[in-house]
Structure 1
């Protein structure tokens, strides 16, 4: 079986609610957070897959169409590839926050579906997010979890950014190889 790192998008990979961008509704609104491409490139060396799992209620709320969201993700993946970093797949929930769907985090369906599709061993994989819903989704799926930001009290580890989180994830993964 394979290993993977599942990444939330907004607040982990790209800016959101900053001076420069409120929400990412178009490809030109996507700005990587510092050292994100380097972090993903590092993770690519040690993990079979890097996935993005993201709640995107803006689709159902009418802020963007699903085709626009797919263009944003294509743009993100292309920009990362330009610097040698690879995101293998993106799974998203387009539903409204209180719609009651099974795919919206904190549910673990996005993670579990990708794991099934790519033959990923969840116990040896990681979920990285910046909200409790990300961490809960990872825990429900059976991954180790990393919180980006101030301690949420739920995650296995807490780091200020994806780059420092990636260094910890790689150290932890190496420990498990022995």
Structure 2
């Protein structure tokens, strides 16, 4: 079983733009590909887990979510960064599914399908749901200050009683801090 880093998509790997309703709005955050490459070189699986309600809200077709994910993986690959999988929840918050973060459905499915070791895992994201997801699956939560991260750290996390294991400026720094922290997981 491999250790794994689960990544949120919007605000963590690519720029947060609200609803990414057109492929032209997809922009990778500087340093994100480098961070993914460092994690992969250290032996981690890297898996994207993302909530995407735009189609359920009627803002754009589900096919756009998949197109954006394919394009994101292509652009990362061009920079030498490979991702092991992308898991998407397309449900509305009140749909009662088990996959919408912070519920663990996507992570548990990825762990089973990709033979991942959740006892040696991290969840990296810019929202409270990512930090709570980490707690729910026994992972270490990493908050990046890109996307919504700064506001979440200052206002939302204290209100919810959530504390990230690591706070990083961006995904590149998160990768470095995870690699420093790795020894404590053994």
Task: Tell me whether the two structures share a fold, i.e. TM-score over 0.5.
Answer: yes
Give per-residue Cα distances to partners, 1:138-174, cap 9 Å, x unaligned. 2111111101124334211111211111100011114
Deviation at 1:23, TM superposition (A): 2.7
Contact 1:5 1:47 in 2 (8 A): no
- Bigger CA drift: 116-125 or 151-160? 151-160
Q: Which sections of structure 1, spanning at least 5 residues, go unmatched?
A: none
User: Is structure 2 residue 123 aligned with structure 1 residue 127?
Assistant: yes
Deviation at 1:175, TM superposition (A): 4.7
SS in 2 for 1:121: strand
The match for 1:80 is 76
Pairs aligned (count): 173
Deviation at 1:176, TM superposition (A): 3.9
The match for 1:33 is 29
TM-score normalized by structure 2?
A: 0.87
User: Is structure 2 residue 8 aligned with structure 1 residue 12?
Assistant: no
Give per-residue Cα distances to partners, 1:96-140, cap 9 Å, x unaligned. 122221110110111111011111110101100111111111211
Distance in 1 (CA, whole Å) between partners of 2:36 and 2:16 is 19
SS in 2 for 1:128: strand
The match for 1:92 is 88
Distance in 1 (CA, whole Å) between partners of 2:134 and 2:55 is 23
Structure with greater helix share of residues: 2
TM-score normalized by structure 1?
A: 0.91
CA RMSD of aligned residues (A): 1.4
Deviation at 1:45, TM superposition (A): 0.5
The match for 2:39 is 43
Deviation at 1:84, TM superposition (A): 0.6
Q: Which sections of structure 2, spanning at least 5 residues, go unmatched?
A: none
The match for 1:52 is 48
